[in-house]
């Protein structure tokens, strides 16, 4: 009966409208809206801080070198800090999206799985060894740490069968181990206690152009690789046997994805230290708004991550003016209840 209905409804050879998966207007509209929010948040973060500027002063600070005061505040301090915030947010959010995709685990996140702490341990080790290390060396150390952390995760979690539970437990253990090592290292070095706090809690205090330039190549390369891996992540989501049957090299794909996670997380940690929960929250919002196709989830996670961290950094500067709270405290204040919500209701 179903046979006949289908045959009369759609004669062979005809292609109904909507042959491409899903209409494209909805993601486009959300993209434009998101970019508008990011632009507004960005402009606000250029205006507000210890010194409040008018929109006109921000504009002249961005475009003309004549207004020396505005130029200094906007171009030397707030604008690079804004770009840093966007890289940190996008990098962590895409890392989270990749990890949630590759582990098929909605609780995966570079912080929960210990990748952030591995980056942080490498960078803290370098800074303690040589406090004068240039920023590019710190970024490189973070990348080495991130790749090692991701590699350890792979070896522990994927020896034999894949298990989300096993991965999460391995990550929690790694996170605790690396985190303890960082604190021990910083405590025994006796110096930079103030900066250590900012590093451990995660924040953008004092981040500037050189942080951006050191992280940008890693971030750009990682983001491009993530976008290219999105289609394979879609295939992997069908299950290992289906994916392998479709010709996907599942182990190699997982390794590549984890390497990209290590690099993107490292780019973020090299700028802002240990910022948590951005990678957990943003991919969920992305899937809620544009569906489960990773070719959309990854770019939209980047967008939402950038928005979240720009806003969190703005909040960090405004809450106890003229002092600052570490920005990571604000992302944690948003992210921790969200994690509890996921655990309880999803």
By CB under 8 A, residue 228 contacts another protein: yes
By CB under 8 A, residue 12 contacts another protein: yes
x-or-dash string of contact with another protein, 262-301, rule CB under 8 A: -----------------------------xxx-x------
DSSP state of 111: T
DSSP state of 273: S
Task: Give the list of residues 6+ apart from residue 4 with CB closer than 8 angstroms, or none.
Answer: none
Encoded tokens for 306: 């950038």
Q: How far apart are CA 64 and CA 137, in angstroms?
A: 33
By CB under 8 A, residue 23 contacts another protein: no
Q: C-beta of 251: minimal distance to another protein in Å?
A: 11
- Judged by CB under 8 A, the number of residues near another protein is 35
By CB under 8 A, residue 224 contacts another protein: no
DSSP state of 12: T
Q: C-beta of 22: minimal distance to another protein in Å?
A: 8
x-or-dash string of contact with another protein, 154-183, rule CB under 8 A: ------------------------------
Q: Which of 29, 40, 242, 340 binds another protein (CB under 8 A)?
A: 242
By CB under 8 A, residue 237 contacts another protein: yes
CB atoms within 10 A of CB 309: 34
By CB under 8 A, residue 104 contacts another protein: yes
In three-state secondary structure terms, 13 is coil
By CB under 8 A, residue 221 contacts another protein: no
Q: Which of 9, 68, 165, 320 binds another protein (CB under 8 A)?
A: 9
DSSP state of 106: T
Nearest to 328 by CA among 207, 205, 233: 205
Of residues 12 and 320, the one with the C-beta less far from another protein: 12
Question: Stretches 20-28, 30-38, 69-77, 146-154: which one binds another protein (CB under 8 A)?
Answer: 20-28
Is the peptide bond preceding residue 88 cis, with omega within 30 degrees of 0? Answer: no
Nearest to 287 by CA among 272, 273, 299: 299
Q: How far apart are CA 325 and CA 11, in angstroms?
A: 65
Question: Stretches 58-66, 75-83, 105-113, 239-247: which one binds another protein (CB under 8 A)?
Answer: 239-247
Encoded tokens for 60: 């002249």
Helix H or strand E encompassing 283: helix 278-290
The residues binding another protein (CB under 8 A) are 2-3, 5-6, 9-10, 12, 14-16, 18-22, 104, 228, 231, 234-235, 237-239, 241-242, 244-249, 291-293, 295
């Amino acid at each position: 009966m179903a046979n006949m209905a289908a045959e009369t409804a759609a004669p062979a050879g005809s292609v109904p409208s909507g042959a491409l998966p899903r209409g494209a207007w909805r993601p486009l509209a959300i993209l434009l809206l998101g970019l508008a929010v990011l632009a507004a948040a960005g402009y606000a973060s250029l205006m507000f801080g210890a010194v409040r500027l008018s929109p006109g002063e921000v504009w002249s600070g961005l475009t003309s070198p004549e207004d020396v005061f505005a130029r200094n505040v906007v171009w030397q301090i707030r604008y690079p800090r804004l770009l840093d915030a966007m890289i940190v947010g996008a990098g962590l959010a895409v890392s989270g999206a990749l990890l949630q995709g590759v582990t098929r685990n909605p609780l995966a996140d570079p912080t929960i799985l210990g990748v952030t702490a591995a980056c942080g341990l490498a960078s803290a080790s370098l800074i303690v060894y040589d406090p004068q290390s240039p920023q590019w060396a710190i970024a490189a150390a973070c990348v080495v740490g991130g790749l090692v952390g991701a590699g350890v995760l792979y070896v522990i979690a994927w020896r034999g069968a894949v298990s989300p539970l096993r991965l999460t437990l391995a990550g929690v253990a790694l996170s605790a181990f690396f985190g303890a090592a960082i604190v021990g290292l910083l405590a025994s070095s006796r110096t930079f206690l103030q900066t250590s706090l900012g590093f451990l809690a995660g924040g953008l205090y004092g981040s500037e152009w050189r942080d951006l330039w050191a992280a940008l190549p890693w971030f750009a390369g990682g983001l491009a690789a993530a976008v290219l891996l999105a289609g394979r992540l879609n295939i992997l989501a069908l299950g290992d046997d289906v994916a392998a049957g479709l010709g996907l090299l599942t182990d190699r794909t997982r390794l590549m994805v984890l390497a990209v996670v290590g690099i993107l997380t490292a780019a973020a940690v090299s700028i802002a230290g240990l910022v948590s929960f951005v990678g957990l929250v943003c991919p969920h919002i992305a899937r809620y708004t544009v569906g489960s196709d990773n070719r959309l989830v990854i770019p939209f996670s980047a967008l939402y991550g950038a928005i979240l961290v720009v806003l969190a950094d703005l909040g960090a500067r405004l809450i106890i003016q003229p002092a600052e709270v570490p920005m990571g405290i604000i992302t944690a204040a948003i992210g921790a209840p969200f994690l509890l919500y996921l655990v309880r209701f999803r």
